[in-house]
Chains A and B, each alone.
Chain A
Amino acid sequence: MSPSSFQLPNLLYHTVRARLANELRLYYLHFVWWFAEPLLDMAIYYVVFAILLKQGTENYVPFLLIGIVFWAWFNRSLQNGSLSILHAKDLMAQMNLPKAFFPIATVCQDFVKQVFVMVVLLVFLVLYGMPVSLSWLCLPVLMAIQFVFIIGLAVFLSAIVPFFPDLKFIITAGLQLMFFVSGVFFDIDSTVLPVHRGIVYLNPMAGLIRNYRQILMQGVWPDWPYLLGAFLSAALVLLLSMLLVRHFGHIYPKIVI
């Protein structure tokens, strides 16, 4: 009647695979857009901040690109993930599935795209002349932490959006605010006052982006204590969100909007 937990990974794999294949089939330029989008974003920020506002530091292009690529992953996954249970209305009316399946499938779909973008980012960094160092090996660790953080938030938001669909506007605004304080296009350590820095780094995205730059541009090992803290809080958010979505799971098919 419903898939056993043993079958869920299989179901997840086939759902994500079919959706991605379909995306590519529908828009043959889609694949190009996966890479072109961050590059376009980077061009815009480069013109505005490096040229017009004269904010550019040394190696501003890779600095900006790293910030944008990891921010865009976070932003896209949450925009899509937060609406996933709401959009699964028709399927929920036909099938009895654990509801966390929907945000997790959406986040995994975006993750696969991110892996392709990552490869291009690394090739770009090498071509740009960034020194390849051992610290690059930490990249999967940082991405794993960001992945857990994204799933936790996406499950949480998707669990509450069906009750208040208007929240999607607030989520968009919240993500915009978070974008400005995550240091995507500026260096927090040299821009933000020391008294405020502690608060800014409470946002895991600010700390993760700083660490991505540290390992990819400067060849410096990441700030392990900070990453451990970020991982533990992300795991806690994920755990609480899973409990929340389990608690509300049987209510979603009864909501009529």
Chain B
Amino acid sequence: MSEPDCLITFEHVRCTYRIKQGLLRFKPYHALKDVSFCVREGETLGIIGRNGAGKTTILKLMSGILRPDAGRVSRRPGLVVSLLSLQVGFDPELSGRENILLGGLYLGISKKNIQNRMDDIIAFSELESFIDNPIKTYSSGMRSRLGFSIGMELAPDVLLIDEVLGVGDWRFQQKASKALHHKIGNGRTVVLVSHNLEQIESICNRVVWVEHGITQAVGDTTDIITSYKNCLQAVS
């Protein structure tokens, strides 16, 4: 499994949430049971699977937010991984500008670097007239635009994208998609979670198919999407 150009490797990863049930009782929920694959340098990897398959949990393990309960997630040392999720907004009480600064610092980017990129981030998000308002006053589309712009402009080594391409209106979607293609063209490593199979087919080199927390298949995009579609049709 450990190929030389792997940035992030999953080996038989299990990840369990603890759902609070009573005063001292927690019910385990096994989001991932046995997941193995690797993310290669410069590729665009798609992750597909039905709702509750464990896709978002995989992204959280990649970014180091969660640790596996069994198995191993290994990352190349010094790798900057950022997670773009729809709920981005670090502190809803603070303004968009403050959230950009804190978001960048949380990612480990220097203050100077963030301030240099600040205007570009704001311009990309098209939130100029709202940027000094607290983000709790933003619509969900505006928040996602801000989150997407932070992740895009602050340029991590690996970009993790969780269903974020449905962000904003049609025009912003086109722009986001173009920016993403640009990153991919520049050899940036991207991991994309999406239910939009056409999108996955158009940008991903490889696909990981996960079902009930277990990897079903890893490999060429077209082959795997075909068998995934067959499987969905068989179920319905």
Point out residues on A near B: beta carbons under 8 Å.
Answer: 1-4, 7, 10-11, 14-15, 18-19, 22, 26, 90-97, 164-166, 250-251, 253-257
User: Do A94 and B94 contact each other (CB < 8 Å), given the known contacts A164-B24, A250-B67?
Assistant: no
How far apart are the CA atoms of A198 and B75 in the complex, in Å?
Answer: 55
Q: Which of B81, B83, B108 has the most CB of A within 10 A?
A: B108
How far apart are the CA atoms of A175 and B95 in the complex, in Å?
Answer: 34
Partner pick for B106 among A3, A18, A165, A251, CB 8 A cutoff: A3
Q: Are A14 and B102 in contact (CB under 8 A)?
A: yes
How far apart are the CA atoms of A22 and B98 in the complex, in Å?
Answer: 10
Q: Are A255 and B18 in contact (CB under 8 A)?
A: yes
Number of residues from B at the complex interface, CB < 8 A: 42
Q: B90 within 8 Å of A by Cβ?
A: yes
Contacts of A96 in B (CB 8 A): 63-65
How far apart are the CA atoms of A23 and B80 in the complex, in Å?
Answer: 32
Q: Are A90 and B102 in contact (CB under 8 A)?
A: no
Partner pick for B91 among A19, A92, A93, CB 8 A cutoff: A19
B127-151, CB < 8 A from A: 134
Instruction: Report the minimum CB–CB distance from B203 to chain A (whole Å).
Output: 23
How far apart are the CA atoms of A162 and B156 in the complex, in Å?
Answer: 31
Q: Which of A1, A11, A164 has the most CB of B within 10 A?
A: A1
Mask, B88-118, CB within 8 Å of A = 1, is: 1111011100100110011110110000000
Mask, B60-83, CB within 8 Å of A = 1, is: 100111110000000100011111
Partner pick for B105 among A1, A3, A94, A251, CB 8 A cutoff: A3
Q: Are B106 and A11 in contact (CB under 8 A)?
A: yes
Q: Are B83 and A7 in contact (CB under 8 A)?
A: no
Contacts of A15 in B (CB 8 A): 102
List, sorted by A's number, 12 A–B pairs whose CB atoms are closer than 8 Å.
Answer: A1-B75, A1-B81, A1-B107, A14-B102, A93-B65, A94-B85, A96-B64, A96-B65, A253-B60, A254-B66, A256-B20, A257-B20
Q: Are A18 and B65 in contact (CB under 8 A)?
A: no
Partner pick for B98 among A18, A93, A165, A255, CB 8 A cutoff: A18
Q: Which of A2, A10, A96 has the most CB of B within 10 A?
A: A96
Partner pick for A94 among B26, B29, B65, B95, CB 8 A cutoff: B65
Q: Are B23 and A166 in contact (CB under 8 A)?
A: yes
Mask, B20-36, CB within 8 Å of A = 1, is: 10011010010000000
Q: Are B20 and A255 in contact (CB under 8 A)?
A: yes
Contacts of A164 in B (CB 8 A): 23-24
Partner pick for B101 among A14, A94, A97, A255, CB 8 A cutoff: A14
How far apart are the CA atoms of A238 and B189 in the complex, in Å?
Answer: 41
For the complex of A and B, the 7 pairs showing the least CB-CB separation, nearest first, are: A96-B64, A250-B67, A18-B98, A3-B108, A11-B105, A95-B106, A256-B19
Q: Are B93 and A1 in contact (CB under 8 A)?
A: no
Q: Are B87 and A90 in contact (CB under 8 A)?
A: yes
Partner pick for B83 among A19, A94, A253, CB 8 A cutoff: A94
